[in-house]
Chain A
Amino acid sequence: MEWEAVIGLEIHAQLATRSKIFSGASTAYGAEPNTQACAVDLGLPGVLPVLNAEAVRMAAKFGLATHATVAKRSVFARKNYFYPDLPKGYQISQYELPIVLSGYIDIDVDDEGSKRIGITRAHLEEDAGKSLHEDFHGETGIDLNRAGTPLLEIVSEPDLRSAKEAVAYMKKIHALVRYLEICDGNMQEGSFRCDANISVRPRGQEAFGTRTEVKNINSFRFVERAINYEIERQIDILEGGGEIVQETRLYDADKNETRPMRSKEEANDYRYFPDPDLLPLELDDAFIEDVRASLPELPDAKRDRFMEQYGLSHYDAGVLTASRELAVYFEATVEASGGEGKLSANWVMGELSGLLNKEGKDITESPVTPDQLGGMLKRIQDGTISGKIAKQVFEAIWNGEGDADAVIEKKGLKQITDPAAIEKIINEVLDKNPRQVEQYRGGQEKLFGFFVGQVMKATQGKANPGEVNKLLKKLLNP
């Protein structure tokens, strides 16, 4: 039996407003518990919500960036349930009439090419506080600092068919919200949370299988693992003749498994109704066009431009535009290098990324600035150093030893390009290795590499490889 997985993702992105969605309290992360919850956030008697206009702008930006409809009229609704970290006993959300409807985003999955994933809707709502179960000896500590932080809940169509696709989608949305500067995407701090709805069905069947929800997975890697585990688990059950229980499950990263959530299995009836304390949100064309005009160049457009402007492949351009910061770094490097698009791409994606990954640094923490990197690339371009020597120069810059020119000067790394000087060294090498010369001239062409190596060794790698090749050929084949 061939099975097909059907996956939909619900992403909660905390919007990067300075104050909360319905009150003026700060949204800054990391404060002492219960120091950033005002009367409105605490749900005291008599308080009322007032909508944060910036949150609306941010939601509209997201809608426009995903080819969605930004609703001219949307309505806030109360989602009623009791829990200590939900002070009012209801969450202000949007239900029947959300602010964003029917968008899509295109993802690239390794061997599949481009796939369009539908976004059913995105809506505004307030976050709840935090429940801290450890450290309180059988009780639970409630921190309401987070209560009232604006969230954009982004719901995908169940168009994803594998964990890999799900991760690609999640990464794309993650990059997008950071591009738009509406969310910092910090998964450790809970700014970007993902729930997955997963079901399986026999390949070819139209009807969906019973789905489970896996909640609050906070890294790309965990999303992939959790989904794969869940797909396997469901297939095992069905192949064994069992049925899938529709339930909410938590992913346990240590054991790499999903488990039903500990809380009582009572289906909550949220009794949604329009919040009578808030007016319907009405947006006009002028507002929407104003938001549209404020959009930055979006990732896909930037990628396409990079392909055309710098002659990069789809893949390379995609890597370089994965984050806005990386794209900015790359273009600044190109500029500093005097227009070396491909060279910049190779170095940013190669050496630079390599070192960043090794040291667990983000592009914004790079000790090498675009000016420094670009400056070095200029020296490759103008022949001052070879590409190979450049690696040494790069490491020196990384370690704070100065700019390219300073390093090259100090370490005497200038490339040797003078044919006469190179010829001299080649002749010395040939003289020192008569047997190999004879073997080469006798037909062992592979030995050419040996001679190149010897010349490089003799010049500490500074001989211009092109010249070496040319002259070596000449001298070996009189």
Chain B
Amino acid sequence: MHQKTIAELAAGLRAGDFSSEELTRHLLDRISGLDGKLNSVITLTEQQALAAARAADRRLQEGDAGPLTGIPFLHKDIFCTRGVRTSCGSRMLDNFEAPYDATVTEKLAAAGAVMLGKTNMDEFAMGSSNETSFYGPVKNPWDLERVPGGSSGGSASAVAARLAPAATGTDTGGSIRQPAALCGITGIKPTYGRVSRWGMIAFASSLDQAGPMTRTAEDAALMLAAMAGFDERDSTCIDRPVDDYSASLGSALNGLKIGLPKEYFGEGLDASVGAAVEAAIDEFRKLGAEVKGISLPNTSLAVPAYYVVAPAECSSNLSRFDGVRFGYRCENPKDLEDLYVRSRGEGFGAEVKRRIMVGTYALSAGYYDAYYLKAQQVRQLIRDDFVKAFEDVDVIMGPTSPTPAFRLGEKADDPVTMYLSDIYTIAVNLAGLPGMSIPAGFVDGLPVGLQLIGNYFDESRLLNAAHQYQQVTDWHTRVPEEFK
């Protein structure tokens, strides 16, 4: 059962081959048995899952079922879940039980999906390897000594290991796409504003977006349809109808114009990864697509601009964690300043503190113009590169990550090298465009991801292209040996 995709599971449930409760129990057992190797789940919600599964089974019987009714999934621990610990991978929220549900949580529940538990992640979504979590690092199921990527490392690892057919992730600079690439699964970050951020703990408000992580584009389309939509509780959410993503999966790709940015195939890209990606693009040529070289000239400015804007916004977003109203509080504070200094000093990990300090500096008097303001202006240039490119092409493709999964600890002491893992994904968040990663091959037994970048609100086209590719390749069906 755990090898089945959402689409297959949904069919099985409707046909009565098994119940949601059986499926849920199976996966809960699997998690209990196997997650010790991965550390991908922080909180397992067994009772809640079984109750939801039983309710789903009732709906299935009554014929009142949608595509996700009874389908189990794992939920990144960044989304508020009422009555359930929502830790954001941090000691700061280890004791925090959210008093309300995030919109994404509500929508998936309304669709009848069954939440199995909350997944591990880089602390406050800051990281590219899931090594900064208070709950310990997550392992890559393809090689337990390597990272799964981050910050949605727990979600990626769990889906790759078939602990659940789907998981939710969030992506601020690549945190859905990069772990999807490193773990050999499919992940999509929709256009900024497509999915509501209400209840999604904020890292960088102008960059954060939620999205599904699954094994196939078909499954991602089903999940995204349930997650997306206007929400008046989020002022940055767009009031625009959600496309029927599943309906357009089957369109042929003849005439699809694919652009390959020369900046994404240059220095820094591992040669084997490059070769795998080139081979993937050949498949698209065979499917009838036209491939041409393009240029995104300001690519090299993306990482520096991001590492000013994101920390600046997060330094402000994380000010609410002060030991006063909720979350971690130090013992026996002697006065207000002590309360703040120790609660935050003890509650936050090193990477979070690093980014808060960088962000505070970038916003400070005398530096605001040179850093924050300048970075936001550069962001406009990066956006303009894409807008111009999309005048000539429909989809932009390239590698998701410059290297396959690296070893645990390899980059942990060198933040800048770690930051460069996001070099191909970051610009997409700065521009607010939709981006996707799909499995495209292996290098020394480690997955390689192909990134697809679309124009604003063109998720249908990305999912369609990915789906067609997945009809003629089988990378997305490979399972890590230990998790078959």
Residues of A participating in the B interface, judged by any CB pair closer than 8 Å: 39, 42-51, 78, 80, 82, 84, 87-90, 142, 269, 271-273, 276-279
What is the bound-complex CA distance between A15 and B236, given in angstroms?
A: 25
Instruction: Scan residues 319-361 of chain B and give those whose CB is less than 8 A from a CB of chain A.
Output: 319-322, 324-326, 336, 340, 360
Cβ of A50: which chain B residues have Cβ within 8 Å of it?
Answer: 232-233, 235
* Pair A276/B363 contact, Cβ less than 8 Å: no
CB contact list, B352-409 vs A, under 8 A: 360, 363-365, 368, 372
Q: Which of A49, A273, A278 contacts B316 (CB 8 A)?
A: A273
- Pair B319/A42 contact, Cβ less than 8 Å: no
Q: Are B319 and A48 in contact (CB under 8 A)?
A: no
CB distance from A87 to the nearest CB of B (A): 6
Interface band, chain B = 35 or more
Q: Are A43 and B320 in contact (CB under 8 A)?
A: yes
Whether A48 lies near B322 (C-beta < 8 A) is no
Given A45-B96, A80-B363, A273-B368, does the pair A88, B320 have CB atoms closer than 8 Å? yes
Interface residue B295 (Cβ < 8 Å from any Cβ of A): no
Q: Is the CB of B235 within 8 A of A84?
A: no
> How far does the Cβ of B238 sit from chain A's closest Cβ, in whole Å?
11
Residue B139 is within 8 A (CB to CB) of chain A in the complex: no
8 sample A-B contacts, Cβ–Cβ < 8 Å, listed by A number: A43-B325, A44-B320, A44-B325, A45-B88, A45-B93, A48-B233, A82-B340, A272-B363
Q: Is B29 an interface residue (CB 8 A)?
A: no
Which residues of B sit under 8 angstroms from A45, Cβ to Cβ?
80, 86, 88, 93, 96, 98, 201-202, 320-321, 326
Give, as a whole number of angstroms, the nearest-CB distance from A334 to chain B: 49
| Contact, CB under 8 Å: A49 / B320 | no
**A87–B199 Cα gap in the complex (Å)?**
17
Chain A's closest residue to B360 (CB) is A271
Report yes or no: B99 in contact with A39, Cβ–Cβ below 8 A. yes
**Are A78 and B336 within 8 A (Cβ)?**
no
CB distance from B200 to the nearest CB of A (A): 6
By CB atoms of chain B within 10 A, which of A46, A51, A278 has the most?
A46
A82 contact set on B, CB distance < 8 A:
319, 322, 340
A88 touching B319, Cβ below 8 Å: yes
B364 in contact with A44 (CB, 8 Å): no
Name the A residues within 8 Å of B88 (CB-CB).
45
**B319–A80 contact, CB under 8 A?**
yes
Q: Which of B86, B235, B326 has the most A CB atoms < 10 Å from its CB?
A: B235
Residue of B nearest to A42 (CB): B325
Out of A46, A80, A278, which one reaches B202, CB within 8 Å? A46
Bound together, the chains give a CA A276 to CA B99 distance in angstroms of 24
Question: Is B100 interfacial (CB 8 A cutoff)?
Answer: yes
| Given known A-B contacts A88-B319, A89-B319, A46 and B199 have beta carbons under 8 A apart | yes
Residues of A within 8 A of B200 (CB): 46
Please report the C-alpha to C-alpha distance between residue A39 and residue B86 in the assembled complex, in whole angstroms: 15
**Known interface pairs A45-B86, A46-B201, A82-B319. Does A271 touch B363 (Cβ–Cβ under 8 Å)?**
yes
Find chain A residues with CB under 8 A from B368 CB: 271-273
Q: In the assembled complex, how far is the CB of residue A74 from the closest CB belonging to chain B, in whole angstroms?
A: 15
Q: CA of A89 to CA of B316 in the docked complex: distance in angstroms?
A: 7
Q: Are B324 and A48 in contact (CB under 8 A)?
A: no
CA A279 to CA B206, docked complex, whole Å: 11
A-B pairs with lowest CB-CB distance, top 9: A89-B319, A271-B363, A276-B205, A276-B206, A46-B199, A43-B320, A45-B201, A46-B80, A269-B365
* In the complex, chain B residues whose CB is within 8 Å of the CB of A277: 202, 205, 235-236
Distance of A50 Cα from B103 Cα, bound (Å): 15
Number of A-B residue pairs having CB atoms within 8 Å of each other in the complex: 96
**For the complex, what is the distance from the CA of A48 to the CA of B96, rounded to whole Å?**
18
Establish whether residues A84 and B336, one from each chain, have CB atoms under 8 Å apart when the complex forms.
yes
Compute how far the CA of A382 lies from the CA of B233 in the bound complex, rounded to whole angstroms: 65
> Is the pair B316, A51 in contact by a Cβ cutoff of 8 Å?
no
Determine whether B134 belongs to the interface, using a CB cutoff of 8 Å to chain A. no
Who on chain A is nearest to B102 by CB?
A: A46
- Beta-carbon nearest neighbor of A88 in chain B: B320
A220 to B102, CA, bound (A): 47
Q: Mark B448-476, 1 if CB is under 8 A from A, else 0.
A: 00000000000000000000000000000
Q: Is B313 an interface residue (CB 8 A)?
A: yes
Give the complex CA separation of A181 and B202 in angstroms: 37
Q: Is the interface of A mostly helix, strand, loop or mixed?
A: loop
Minimum CB–CB distance from A190 to chain B (whole Å) comes to: 22
- What chain A residues lie within 8 Å of B322 (beta carbons)? 82, 84, 89
Residue of A nearest to B200 (CB): A46
Give the nearest-CB partner of A140 in chain B. Answer: B336
State A49–B86 Cα separation when bound (angstroms): 21
Q: B326, A44: Cβ atoms under 8 Å? A: yes
Q: Interface code B123-155, partner A: CB below 8 Å = 1, 0 otherwise?
A: 000000000000000000000000000000000
Q: Would you give the shortest CB distance from A181 to chain B, in whole angstroms?
A: 27
B234 within 8 A of A: yes
The verdict on A87 contacting B364 (CB below 8 Å), with A45-B93, A45-B96, A48-B233 known, is: no
When distances are taken between beta carbons in the complex, the residues of chain A under 8 Å from B96 are 45
Contact with A along B88-118 (1 / 0, CB 8 A): 1000010010111010000000000000000
* Residue B73, interface by CB 8 Å: no
Query: When the two chains form the complex, which single residue of A142, A269, A273, A278 contacts B312, counting CB atoms closer than 8 Å?
Result: A273
Q: Which residues of A contact B364 (CB under 8 A)?
A: 269, 271
Q: Find residues 232-248 in chain B having any chain A CB closer than 8 Å to their own CB.
A: 232-236
Q: Tell me, rounded to whole Å, the shortest Cβ–Cβ distance linking B246 to chain A.
A: 29
**Which A residues lie within 8 Å of B75 (CB)?**
none
Shortest A44–chain B CB gap in Å is 7
Decide yes or no whether B307 CB sits under 8 A from chain A: no
> A residues within 8 A CB of B324?
84, 87, 142
The reply to whether the CB of B197 lies closer than 8 angstroms to some CB of chain A is yes
Contacting pair A273 B372 (CB below 8 A): yes
Chain A residue nearest in CB terms to B323: A84
**CB contact list, B193-221 vs A, under 8 A:** 197-202, 204-206
Chain A residue nearest in CB terms to B318? A89
Do residues A44 and B205 form an inter-chain contact, with CB atoms below 8 A?
no
> Is there an interface contact between A90 and B316, defined as CB atoms closer than 8 Å?
yes
Which A residues are in CB contact (< 8 Å) with B197? 46, 48
Q: What CA separation (Å) do A42 and B93 show in the bound complex? A: 16
Q: Inside 8 A of A78's CB, which chain B residues have their CB?
A: 316
Q: For residue A84, which residues in chain B have a CB less than 8 angstroms away from its CB?
A: 322, 324, 336
Q: Which residues of A contact B201 (CB under 8 A)?
A: 45-46
Q: How far is the CB of A286 from chain B (nearest CB, A)?
A: 20
With A45-B93, A46-B102, A89-B320 known to touch, is A278 a contact of B80 (CB < 8 Å)? no
Question: Whose C-beta in chain B lies nearest to the C-beta of A78?
Answer: B316
A114 CB to nearest B CB, Å: 40
Residue in contact with A51 in the complex, picked from B80, B233, B235, B372, CB distance below 8 Å:
B235
- B235 and A278 within 8 A (CB): yes
Contacts of A42 in B (CB 8 A): 325
- Indicate if the CB atoms of A47 and B340 lie closer than 8 Å: no
When distances are taken between beta carbons in the complex, the residues of chain B under 8 Å from A46 are 79-80, 98, 102, 197-202
**Distance A82 CA – B236 CA, assembled complex (angstroms):** 26
Query: Which B residues touch A87, using CB under 8 A?
Result: 320, 324-325
**Which one of A78, A272, A277 has the greatest number of beta carbons of chain B within 10 Å?**
A277
Extra contacts, 5 of them, besides A87-B320, A276-B236 (Cβ < 8 A), are: A46-B79, A46-B197, A50-B233, A271-B364, A273-B312
- The CA of A137 and the CA of B204, in the complex, are separated in Å by 40
Given the complex of chains A and B, what is the CA–CA distance between A338 and B318 in angstroms?
A: 67
CA distance A49 to B197 in the complex (A): 11
CA distance A216 to B321 in the complex (A): 29
How many angstroms between the C-alpha atoms of A247 and B232 in the bound complex? Answer: 43
In whole angstroms, what is the CA distance A278 to B202 when docked?
14
Query: Inside 8 A of B102's CB, which chain A residues have their CB?
Result: 46
Residues of B within 8 A of A279 (CB): 235-236
List of B residues within 8 angstroms of A89 by Cβ: 316, 318-320, 322
> In the complex, what distance in Å separates the CA atom of A303 from the CA atom of B84?
62
Q: B233 to chain A: which residues have CB within 8 Å?
A: 48, 50
